[in-house]
Structure 1
Amino acid sequence: MNLKQLFFGVLLSANFTSFAQNANKEVLFTIDDKPYYTDEFARVYNKNIDLVKDESQKDLNQYLDLFVGYKLKINKANKLGLQNGQAYQAELKSYRNQLSKNYLTDSKVTQELIEESYKRSLKEIKAAHILFMVDENASPEDTLKAYKKAVEVREKALKGEDFGELAVKYSEDPSAKENKGELGYFSAFRMVYPFESAAYKTPKGQVSKITRTRFGYHIIKVEDVRDNRGELTVAHIMILKPQNQNPEESEKAKNTIQEIYTKLQQDENFESLAKQFSQDKSSASKGGLLNRFGSGQLSSEEFEDAAFALKNPNDYSTPIESNFGWHIIKLIERHPVKTLEEMQADLDNKIRKDERSRLITNSLTEKLKKKYAVKRNDKLYAALSKTVTDKFYMGEWKLPENTKPFAGDLVTIDKKAITGEDFLKFLATQQRGENTIKPIGKLVDKKYQEFVDVKVNELYNNNLENEFPDFAAVMEEYRDGLLLFDLMEKEIWEKAKTDTIGLQNFYESRINNYRWGNRLDAIVLTSTKMDVAKKAQKLLKQGKTADFIKEKLNLNGKVDVMSNAGIFEENSDALPKGLVKKDGVSDIIKDGEYYFIVKINKHLEAGPKTLDEARGKVINDYQQYLEEKWVGDLKQEFKVNVNQPVFEKVKKQIKS
Structure 2
Amino acid sequence: MKKITFIICLLALLSANTQAQTLFSFDHQKVSVQEFLKAFQKNNPTVTKNKTKAIQDYLELYINSRLKIHEATVRGYDTLSQIKTEMANLRSQISGKYMHDQDLLNRLTTEAFQRSQKDIHVAHIFIAFQDKNGFNNKAAADKKRDLVLQRLQKGDDFLQVAKELSDDTTSNKNGGDIGYITVFSLPYPFENAVYATPVGKYSTVVASHAGYHIFKNLGERKAMGKIKAQQILLAFPPGIDAAGQQKMKQLADSLYDRLQAGDDFSKLATTFSNDYITANNNGNMPEISVGMYAPSFEEKLATLKKDGAISRPFKTAYGWHIVKRIAVTPVVSDAENEANKLALQEKIKADSRWDHSQDFIFDIVKNKIGMKNYPIPDPLLWSYTDSILNKKPMPPAGRKIQSTDPLLTIGDSTLTIGDWIKYAQTHRFKKDGSGPENLVTVKNNFFKQSMLDYYQSHLEKYNEKFGSQMKEFKDGN
Q: TM (normalized to structure 1)?
A: 0.38
CA distance in 2, matches of 1:307, 1:156: 34
* Equivalent residues in 2 for 1:98-497, closer than 5 Å: 102-134=97-129, 142-229=137-224, 309-310=304-305, 317=308, 337-339=333-335, 343-378=340-375, 381-382=376-377, 386-389=380-383, 400=394, 402=399, 405-426=402-423, 432=429, 448-462=443-457, 468=466
The runs of 5 or more residues in structure 1 that have no matched partner are: 1-20, 22-26, 31-35, 52-57, 59-63, 73-82, 84-88, 233-257, 260-293, 321-325, 435-442, 477-649
CA distance in 2, matches of 1:146, 1:157: 16
CA distance in 2, matches of 1:398, 1:99: 44
Determine if contact 1:120/1:188 at 8 Å carries over to the other structure: yes
Determine if contact 1:125/1:222 at 8 Å carries over to the other structure: yes
How many residue pairs get aligned? The number is 324
Cα distance change on mapping 1:465 and 1:362 into 2, 3 Å: closer
Determine if contact 2:101/2:358 at 8 Å carries over to the other structure: yes
| Letter in structure 2 aligned against 1:186 | I
Determine if contact 1:398/1:428 at 8 Å carries over to the other structure: no
CA distance in 2, matches of 1:295, 1:463: 48
CA distance in 2, matches of 1:399, 1:362: 39
CA distance in 1, matches of 2:470, 2:288: 39
Cα distance change on mapping 1:398 and 1:414 into 2, 3 Å: farther
CA distance in 2, matches of 1:391, 1:451: 14
SS in 2 for 1:360: coil
Cα distance change on mapping 1:306 and 1:151 into 2, 3 Å: closer
- What's the C-alpha RMSD, in Å, of the aligned pairs? 5.8
Shift of 1:211: 0.9
Cα distance change on mapping 1:369 and 1:157 into 2, 3 Å: same
Determine if contact 1:231/1:334 at 8 Å carries over to the other structure: yes
Determine if contact 1:391/1:397 at 8 Å carries over to the other structure: no
CA distance in 1, matches of 2:110, 2:178: 25
Determine if contact 2:304/2:310 at 8 Å carries over to the other structure: no
* Identity across the alignment (%): 23
| Letter in structure 2 aligned against 1:415 | D
| Letter in structure 1 aligned against 2:406 | D
Determine if contact 1:464/1:471 at 8 Å carries over to the other structure: no
Cα distance change on mapping 1:387 and 1:296 into 2, 3 Å: closer
SS in 2 for 1:130: strand
Question: Deviations along 1:201-251, whole A, 9 cap, x unmatched?
Answer: 22211222211124321121210022335799xxxxxxxxxxxxxxxxxxx
Q: TM (normalized to structure 2)?
A: 0.51
CA distance in 2, matches of 1:168, 1:97: 55
CA distance in 2, matches of 1:399, 1:39: 69
CA distance in 2, matches of 1:397, 1:146: 41
Cα distance change on mapping 1:410 and 1:141 into 2, 3 Å: same
CA distance in 1, matches of 2:425, 2:393: 7
CA distance in 1, matches of 2:214, 2:379: 40
Cα distance change on mapping 1:396 and 1:385 into 2, 3 Å: same
CA distance in 1, matches of 2:123, 2:343: 28
Cα distance change on mapping 1:347 and 1:469 into 2, 3 Å: farther
Question: Deviations along 1:252-301, whole A, 9 cap, x unmatched?
Answer: xxxxxx89xxxxxxxxxxxxxxxxxxxxxxxxxxxxxxxxxx9959xxxx
Cα distance change on mapping 1:406 and 1:327 into 2, 3 Å: closer
Cα distance change on mapping 1:336 and 1:113 into 2, 3 Å: closer
Determine if contact 2:104/2:357 at 8 Å carries over to the other structure: yes
Higher alpha-carbon Rg: 1
Shift of 1:420: 2.1
